[in-house]
Amino acid sequence: MQRGKRMDMQHLGLSRTVSLAYAEAIEAVTAALKEEGFGILTEVDVKATLKKKTDVDFRPYVILGACNPALAHRALQTEPQLGLLLPCNAIVYDNEDGTTTVSIMDPMLMASMSDDAELHAVAVEANAKLQRVIAKLA
């Protein structure tokens, strides 16, 4: 990326704003991910971390490290360096207007970093699963 140019952050993930309370949105995305074979490996409460480490107040915001073990295994067999981009992060944050935004990193972004056909196939499969997750949140 060239200095001075900004990446369009909307293209990093699959996103949906829902009319759910923050805690309900976390439960809904976690359940939808589970239905598609993803588990949550990590959960970072950004609001609590920022308060503890820097004493600043921030909106409710969580980063969920989601992983589908079968897809991760296939991808890592193809490209061991892909582990730098795993797990697949999902974020949930309170918009402070009665809605919550859920975004999940688009696996096609990862695939765009390689010309490997198998890695592309894994990304297409993961993308389809994550598209279904986002659709379930409607």
CATH number at residue 73: 3.30.310.70
pLDDT at 115 over 80: yes
Mean pLDDT of the chain: 92
Beta strands in the chain (DSSP E): 13-18, 39-45, 61-67, 88-94, 100-105
Task: Taking residues 53-66, report their average pLDDT.
Answer: 98
pLDDT at 69 over 60: yes
- Confirm whether 3 is domain-assigned: no
- Confirm whether 2 is domain-assigned: no
Question: If 0-12 CB within 10 Å is exposed, 13-18 middle and 19+ buried, where does residue 108 land?
Answer: middle
Does residue 87 contact residue 64 with C-beta atoms inside 8 Å? no
- Confirm whether 4 is domain-assigned: no
- Confirm whether 1 is domain-assigned: no
pTM: 0.90
Query: What pLDDT is recorded for position 4?
Result: 55
The proportion of the chain whose per-residue pLDDT surpasses 70, expressed as a percent, equals 92
Q: What is the dihedral of CA 116, 130, 29, 83, to 10 degrees?
A: 0
Query: 5 pLDDT band (50/70/90 cuts)?
Result: low
Query: What pLDDT is recorded for position 1?
Result: 43
Would you call 54 helix, strand, or coil by DSSP? helix
- Confirm whether 15 is domain-assigned: yes
pLDDT at 86 over 60: yes
- Residue 103's beta-bridge partner residues? 15, 91
Q: Count of domains in the chain?
A: 1
Q: Answer with the residue of higher pLDDT: 75 or 1.
A: 75
- Residue 136's beta-bridge partner residues? none
Which two three-digit tokens encode residue 95?
């918009």
Q: Over the stretch 87-109, which tens digit does the pLDDT of each residue have?
A: 999 999 999 999 999 999 999 98
User: Could you tell me the residue range of the domain that residue 45 belongs to?
Assistant: 9-136
The proportion of the chain whose per-residue pLDDT surpasses 90, expressed as a percent, equals 81
